[in-house]
Amino acid sequence: MDANQPINVTGKVDSMKYRTGRRHGGRTVGIGVLAALALISAACGSDDTTSEPSGAESTVADTTAPAETTQLSVPAATDGPDATEPDTTDAVEPSGPATGEPLRVGFVNLEGGAVSVPEIRVGFEQGVKYVNEERNGAGGRPIEIAVSCNTDFTPESSLNCANQMVEANVDVVFNGADFAADAGLPVYQEAGIAQIGIAGFTPAFNAAEGDVFTYLWATEEGLAGSLVAMQNLGAEKMVMALADTAGARSYGATLIPDLAKEVGIEVDVQYYPADVDWATFSQGLVATSPDAIDFPAISDVECLGMVPAMHATGFDGPVHAGSCNIMLSVLPADVLAGVITHAEFTWRTMVDESTPPEIVDQIDTYEKYVGEANPDYVGGFSMLGFAVAVFGADALSTIDGELTAESIHAGLPGATGTVPFSEIAFDCSGTAWKGTSSCRNGMLFTQINEDLTRTEFDWSPIDLLALKS
């Protein structure tokens, strides 16, 4: 990206990226929970930090773009085929139980440490159970979770998991949330084992085109989308609060300032430690006098700490609370006033009369399977784990011939289909977001209503097509 060359930021996603284009009621289907947290909190390993929450280090992105150049243009909807859009309209959805020799897979997730998301693992396990019982598994073969490995924020933990996967001779690895994934990536590449994941949570993992395949937008699009969303809500100066990790500091030093200049908004990047005091940290954010606050959370627990703390400061600008969803069933409506979220797909809180019946059926199925394992996990990040199981099974089912580690690695770049819980097409050939592991694009933003449902903004989804070059 040339920092001296301004981009034309488009405010709406190209309708052709979706199977059915613009949907009923003028809205486009979406879904949501964990993604931007993965995008900007990505870590090759956690940084040691001695900064106090009230005096968090910050990086200010200088921008000289005049106000009149920062407005978004909304492209007219177009008809006709898109060369980069996979044809999924005639695809036959597999059904029935899987048979035959199991396909051995591995699963890696952030679990057991100070920050832990076991709900993603449970969602994945139940998603595997669902595709094995009702969707013919992966190409007719049942999926067997041969190895499940936990990571923390250290490179050593991710490297350990990678070595375990190679030793177990798995055919493919599913990645839940791993914020040190870059450390293990060379091991998988050397062994020729492909990874299927939620998002590119770390820089090298995000850029591993042809080795990693994710169903969410690329880091570049996720970060820029947050800036554009705040700009659409009237902000000229915003603060972005990130978990203090190596990946986040890398993005805060280079990518975020570059994107801020191109979008035309001033961004102050601040970092919070693992033992953050949310009340003190929130007061420090407000003291910088921002118009808006962007907070891509790593977990629902963080949103439950940050959002009430921000409310207590009296800050009346927009607050982006990542893709957190559990807070809608825990926090009162007045505390959530002014809070926005992004969405990976259609969550239960986004369902209305215009939601296609097939998507409602998918959500019902997810709630049934995850509810059988742990009712407390329904509605949270377990949906991301469930989705990666379905996405992976669908992608694997597009590969002709016997599924082996070699054929999977070679065949996944040709995988096309539809992201679970949505009408959003995925295409893993590299056309969705050039040079990254992402198989889709188009970032969705929602406002929280008084009845604690969510409605997509009329300027959503955001598709930053100009950043692909």
- pLDDT tens digits for range 166-188: 999 999 999 999 989 999 999 99
Most confident of 14-18, 174-178, 219-223: 174-178
Which tops the pLDDT comparison, 443 or 383?
383
- Contact (Cβ atoms closer than 8 angstroms) between residue 31 and residue 344: yes
Exposed e or buried b per residue across 86-115, where buried means at least 16 C-beta atoms within 10 angstroms of its C-beta: beeeeeeebeeebeeebbbbbbbbbbeeeb
Residues 6+ positions from 277 with CB-CB distance below 8 Å = 53
Cα–Cα–Cα angle for 37, 227, 15, rounded to 5 degrees: 90
Extract the tokens encoding 331: 């926090």
Cα–Cα–Cα angle for 7, 463, 179, rounded to 5 degrees: 100
Mean pLDDT to the nearest integer, 14-20: 25
Phi, psi torsion values for 250, nearest 5 degrees: -65, -45
Bridging pattern class, strands 339-343 and 103-110? unpaired
Extract the tokens encoding 162: 């990678």
What pLDDT does residue 95 have? Answer: 78
pTM here is 0.77
Which tops the pLDDT comparison, 468 or 349?
349
What pLDDT does residue 351 have? Answer: 95
Extract the tokens encoding 304: 């439950």
d(CA 309, CA 312): 5
DSSP 226: H
Mean pLDDT to the nearest integer, 218-243: 93
- Contact (Cβ atoms closer than 8 angstroms) between residue 170 and residue 146: yes
pLDDT at 195 over 50: yes
- Contact (Cβ atoms closer than 8 angstroms) between residue 396 and residue 139: yes
Nearest to 118 by CA among 367, 381, 386: 381
Mean pLDDT to the nearest integer, 30-41: 34
pLDDT tens digit string along 331-384? 999 999 999 999 999 999 999 999 999 999 999 999 999 999 999 999 888 999
